[in-house]
Structure 1
Amino acid sequence: MADKKITILYVDDEENNLFSFKAAFRIKYQVYTAISGDEALKILAEKAVHIIVTDQRMPGMTGVEFLEKVILAFPDPIRLLLTGYADMAAVVDAINKGKIFHYLTKPWNEEELDITINRAYEAYLEKLKLKEENEKLETSNDQLEFLLRQKLLS
């Protein structure tokens, strides 16, 4: 997929972090930013996003609360949690409730985050491939059930 950039949504309530992230990654990736979970949900409704990177500590809605909403409406993007606090409860919640792919601490290391984004994108592609294969199996199963019912009725 060399002609199409990986699309990332970065959510953080600190504007400086939004600018820093976009400056660091805008050339390599298609980057959308949001200053709140609510703003991010609006972007997800309008744009196709592969990876979501969200801060944990935000007013109004934590990163985990945001990711819980994302899972219900937009299950495909791979989710990463970023926080400046070594809060084990947040990490556990992120894994259990937000179903995150990876947890990173702030301030983020650009190289580590870049590697993680690429690994997350590989997981995204694998997830889509499995979803497609599952849909094919469901279709085959429906066809077999139909044939079996026809056979039983005749």
Structure 2
Amino acid sequence: MAADKITILYVDDEENNLFSFKATFRIKYQVLVAISGEEALKILATKKVHVIITDQRMPGMTGVDFLEKVLEEYPDPMRILLTGYADMNAVVDAVNKGKIFHYLAKPWNEEELDMTINRAYEKYLERAQLKEMNEKLAGSNDQLEFMLRQRLLS
């Protein structure tokens, strides 16, 4: 698989949805799938993921609960919530607690989901670039502070 492919982690408790998503997007993206939030967290511990797409209604751990855990340990991937239910409380929770990038209704529309993945990846790259610039700036500030202290001491 090409290293420049966007890596997506798709989480859904319905195996048919996992197969369908992988079949639809495996050529264009590097697709990882998980049947539960727990399994997805194990994948995140070993793989670099750019975009996470999760179903809301899953046994054991809802999509929002999963995204909250992701945010604690892996804040970089962009997060997208899918739900087949018009559950506004879940959407509000996802925005507030899971800091989602986007919300889509199930069944998903291939074109809309594809566009959302690409927009999410653009945002991911912007954030990575900003983070890198901030780290460089912090390093420059440390060097400047060191040089000033040296001057003051001499």
- TM-score normalised over the length of structure 1: 0.95
Deviation of the 1:130 alpha carbon: 0.5
- CA 1:3–1:11: 2 relative to 1, 3 Å: closer
Deviation of the 1:153 alpha carbon: 2.4
SS, match of residue 86 in structure 1: coil
Deviation of the 1:150 alpha carbon: 1.9
How many Å separate the matches in 1 of 2:59 and 2:96?
Answer: 21
Q: Does 1:41 align with 2:16?
A: no
Deviation of the 1:92 alpha carbon: 1.0
Runs of 5+ in structure 1 lacking a partner? Answer: none
Letter in 2 for 1:69: K
Deviations 1:91-120 (A, max 9, x none): 111111101100000000011000000111
Aligned identity (percent) is: 80
Match in the other structure for 2:15: 15
Match in the other structure for 2:58: 58
Match in the other structure for 1:87: 87
How many Å separate the matches in 1 of 2:55 and 2:148?
Answer: 52
Match in the other structure for 2:113: 113
Deviations 1:58-112 (A, max 9, x none): 1111111111111111111111000011111111111111011000000000110
Deviation of the 1:151 alpha carbon: 2.3
Number of residue pairs matched? 153
RMSD, aligned α-carbons: 1.2
How many Å separate the matches in 1 of 2:63 and 2:49?
Answer: 17
How many Å separate the matches in 2 of 1:3 and 1:32?
Answer: 14
